[in-house]
Amino acid sequence: MGKPSVPPSATASTHGAREHARAQEGTTADAMPIVPASDLPEPPEDVAAGDVVWAETVAGGGYTHKVLARGTELRLTDLTGDACAHLLLHSADRPWERLNTADTVKVLWNAYLGEGHLLLSDQGRVLASVTEDTSGRHDALTGTSTLVRNTARYGDGTPQSASPAGRELFKLAALKNGLAPRDLPPSVSFFQGVRVAEDGTTEFTGSAGPGASVTLRAEQDVTVLLANVPHPLDPRADYTTGNLRVLAYRSRPTAPDDALWDATPEGRRAFLNTVDHLTARGLA
């Protein structure tokens, strides 16, 4: 949705600027947050409107962030087939405990994210689990784009440009949560796939198409940082990325009676580590 042109004289004074700003109340755009989230017009059939705590559409080249309570489920949807959701997770009140992609891949003996995968910290604890996945095109190996790479490839990579880099957007999201650039580890990404070839090279496999979704469950209180930017290995010459839908709603953390708890010995140990940590703090 384009912005209506405004004559310079209309906002030349404080009163004019105020009237113009107030006149925008109630207008909507294709990509924006819904506040309060419970006002989401048409929640999915499996989600009660009163349980929705985050509802937002993130434009291509945009970012967002939120602190989610333990047990909250976060559903990401690629609306156009061109979204790429780069994700970082931090323990909400202990930001030095954060997503560790190396352990996420190594401990679980699986480099390919999908349903049943656990996103681990370097403390051997679960930050989030993947409970549903209709895409199958994700990446835990490459990370996000950088200022240098985007400047060389697209001509600019700053946050205000037409081709912002993922790390630059992560810096902004981090700052709004009291975090610094040094607090940003390698990220994982969803909706644009990468596979490792027999010779060890990485192959970009692209998107599963419009409407694919992935659902994560927060296994402790987490700070979520998201940047919706092209995957670094996307071969297209143009900066290409589409809208990403973000929906979070109240649920419950994984429990010992859930199949995911005992899916693997390594996963069970990670869940036990997580609950042990939370129990000692009176949080579980």
> Which pLDDT score is estimated for 8?
62
> Which pLDDT score is estimated for 20?
75
> Which pLDDT score is estimated for 52?
97
Q: Is the pLDDT of residue 283 over 90?
A: yes
Average pLDDT, the chain: 94
User: How does residue 29 score in pLDDT terms, banded at 50, 70 and 90?
Assistant: confident
Q: Is the pLDDT of residue 4 over 60?
A: no
Q: What is the pLDDT of residues 43-81, one digit of tens each?
A: 999 999 999 999 999 999 999 999 999 999 999 999 999
Q: What is the pLDDT of residues 172-224, one digit of tens each?
A: 999 999 999 999 999 999 999 999 999 999 999 999 999 999 999 999 999 99
For residue 78, give Cα distances in angstroms to 177, 244, 258.
25, 5, 27
> Which pLDDT score is estimated for 1?
40
Q: Is the pLDDT of residue 281 over 60?
A: yes
Q: Which comes out higher in pLDDT, residue 134 or 30?
A: 134
- Distance between CA atoms of residues 220 and 69, nearest Å: 7
> Which pLDDT score is estimated for 206?
96
- Distance between CA atoms of residues 118 and 127, nearest Å: 8
User: How does residue 9 score in pLDDT terms, banded at 50, 70 and 90?
Assistant: low
Q: What is the CA radius of gyration of the chain?
A: 20
- Distance between CA atoms of residues 201 and 74, nearest Å: 32
User: How does residue 15 score in pLDDT terms, banded at 50, 70 and 90?
Assistant: confident
| DSSP secondary structure letters along the chain | -PPPP--GGGGSSHHHHHHHHHHTTT---SS-B-SSGGG-SS--TTS-GGGEEEEEEEPTTEEEEEEE-TT-EEEEEESSS---EEEEEEETTEEEEEB-HHHHHHTTT-SS--TT-EEEBTTS-EEEEEEEES---EESSS----HHHHHHHHS--STTSSS--HHHHHHHHHHTTT--GGG----EEESSEEEE-TTS-EEEEE---TT-EEEEEESS-EEEEEEE---TT---SS-----EEEEEE------TTSGGGGSSHHHHHHHHHHHHHHHHTT--
Q: What is the pLDDT of residues 135-160, one digit of tens each?
A: 999 999 999 999 999 999 999 999 99
